[in-house]
Chains A and B, each alone.
Chain A
Amino acid sequence: AQKVTQAQTEISVVEKEDVTLDCVYETRDTTYYLFWYKQPPSGELVFLIRRNSFDEQNEISGRYSWNFQKSTSSFNFTITASQVVDSAVYFCALSEALRSNYQLIWGAGTKLIIKP
Chain B
Amino acid sequence: EAQVTQNPRYLITVTGKKLTVTCSQNMNHEYMSWYRQDPGLGLRQIYYSMNVEVTDKGDVPEGYKVSRKEKRNFPLILESPSPNQTSLYFCASSRGPMNTEAFFGQGTRLTVV
Interface positions of A (Cβ within 8 A of B): 4, 9, 33, 35, 43-45, 47, 50, 52, 91, 93, 95-97, 99, 101-104, 106-109
Asked if residues B43 and A106 are in contact (CB atoms below 8 Å), the reply is yes
Q: Does B102 contact A (CB under 8 A)?
A: yes
Closest chain B residue, CB of each to CB of A52: B99
Closest A residue by C-beta to B104: A45
Q: Is the CB of A108 within 8 A of B59?
A: no
Minimum distance in angstroms from A29 CB to a CB of chain B: 10
Chain A residue numbers with a CB within 8 Å of B92 are: 45
Are B104 and A44 in contact, CB atoms less than 8 angstroms apart? yes
Does B12 interact with chain A (Cβ within 8 Å)? no
- Please judge, given known A-B contacts A91-B42, A97-B98, A108-B41, whether A103 and B103 are in contact too, CB under 8 Å: no
B44 to A, closest residue via Cβ: A106
Neighbouring B residues of A45 by C-beta, 8 Å:
90, 92, 104, 107
Chain B nearest CB: distance from A38 CB in Å? 11
Q: Which of B48, B100, B105 contacts A101 (CB 8 A)?
A: B48
Do B101 and A102 touch (CB < 8 A)?
A: no
Please name all residues of chain A whose beta carbon is closer than 8 Å to the beta carbon of B104 when the two chains form the complex.
Answer: 44-45
Contact B48 A102 (CB under 8 A): yes
CA A40 to CA B3, docked complex, whole Å: 17
